[in-house]
Amino acid sequence: MKILFLGDVFAAPGRAALKKYLPLLKAEHQPDVVIVNGENSAHGRGISDETAAAIFAAGADIITLGDHTFDQKGSDALLANNPKIIRPANFAAGTPGRGHTVFTTASGKKIMVMQLLGRVFMKTASVTDCPFRTFNALTEDMKLGKDVDAIFVDFHAEATSEKACFFGHADGKASAVVGTHTHIPTNDARIFPKGTAVQTDAGMCGDYESSIGLSLESVVPSYLSAGRHYFQPATGNATLGGVLIETDDKGKAIKIQSLMTPAFTKEK
C-alpha cells in the first residue's frame, strides 16, 4: 500500500499549493490513500466547512487535525457530520468528533488512521489523555496485518523527544508514525527495526518565508518589545511538505520518502 501524507495546511497559501500540487503528486506516485493535516487551514487556526471542502476537493481522503481542532466556530458540527475528519484520539472523554477511522482503498484494502496529541510543552495537556496508552487501547482490537492492512498515526506534538519515544513504543504495531505541529520538515525519515516508518515532522503546506506560517512582519516585533501583538498568516508563495510511505502485505513499512514541492507562485 502507498500512503501519501501532507503536513499542516496553513491558511490560504497552503490551500492554494494543495490545489495545485496534490493532483500532480497523486498522478506521479499513485497513492492508495491521501491523508492531509488540516488543523491550520482556516486563517492559520483550526478548520472550517469551507477549508475542509477545499482540502477534500484537492484530493484528500482523510483530514487529521490537532490542538487547534476547535478554534473555528462550527467545528463541533463539522467533526460530528464527517467521519473522514479526525481529531486527536486522546482528547478527554466527551470531546466531539472521533480520533480514528478505517478507510477502505479502491483495491479493497483497509487502513486505520488515527491522530494522537503529545503532552510535553502542549497547552492542551490538561485535557489530553496519555497518547501511549490511547494507542495501546486503539490497537488492542485492531491488529496490523490481521484486522487492517495498515495503521497510520499522525502524532501531533511539540517535543521531538516525546515523538522519538512514541516511535519506539509503536514500532511493529503501526505501519507509520509521522509527526506534525512544528511545521518544519525534519531530515530523519527512516524505518524502525520492527517495520514502522517514522519522521519527526512532515513539515507544513504553506509559506516557508514565515514564522511557521505566520508573517514575519507581524511576529518579529514581538521579540523586540512587550505589549499586545497581533499575528497574521503569511500570504506569500507556498510549498507542500509531506511523506510517501510504502508497506508490504503484512502492513510493515518497506519505504519512506520525504516530499517537498517547489514554492507555488500564485497568479497575480
Print pLDDT tens along the chain (268 aa). Answer: 999 999 999 999 999 999 999 999 999 999 999 999 999 999 999 999 999 999 999 999 999 999 999 999 999 999 999 999 999 999 999 999 999 999 999 999 999 999 999 999 999 999 999 999 999 999 998 999 999 999 999 999 999 999 999 999 999 999 999 999 999 999 999 999 999 999 999 999 999 999 999 999 999 999 999 999 999 999 999 999 999 999 999 999 999 999 999 998 765 4
The one-letter amino acid at 189: A
| Distance in angstroms (rounded) separating the CA atoms of residues 252 and 176 | 8
Residue 68 domain flag: yes
Number of structural domains found in the chain: 1
Other C-beta atoms closer than 10 Å to the C-beta of 260 total: 13
Residue 200 domain flag: yes
Residue 28 domain flag: yes
Kindly state the helix (H) or strand (E) to which residue 181 belongs, with its residue range. none
Provide the residue range defining the domain that includes 20: 2-260
> Which residue is catalytic, options 29, 43, 68, 156?
68
Residue 109 domain flag: yes
Nearest to 114 by CA among 55, 59, 174: 174
pLDDT at 265: 74
Nearest to 183 by CA among 213, 218, 220: 213
68 is catalytic: yes
Contact 218, 138 (CB under 8 A): no
Could you tell me the CATH number of the domain that includes residue 77?
3.60.21.10
Residue 47 domain flag: yes
Nearest to 8 by CA among 231, 256, 213: 213
Q: First vs last Cα of the chain: how many Å apart?
A: 39
Other C-beta atoms closer than 10 Å to the C-beta of 205 total: 35
| Distance in angstroms (rounded) separating the CA atoms of residues 67 and 128 | 10
Task: Determine if the pTM surpasses 0.85.
Answer: yes
Residue 266 domain flag: no
Residue 153 domain flag: yes
Residue 180 domain flag: yes
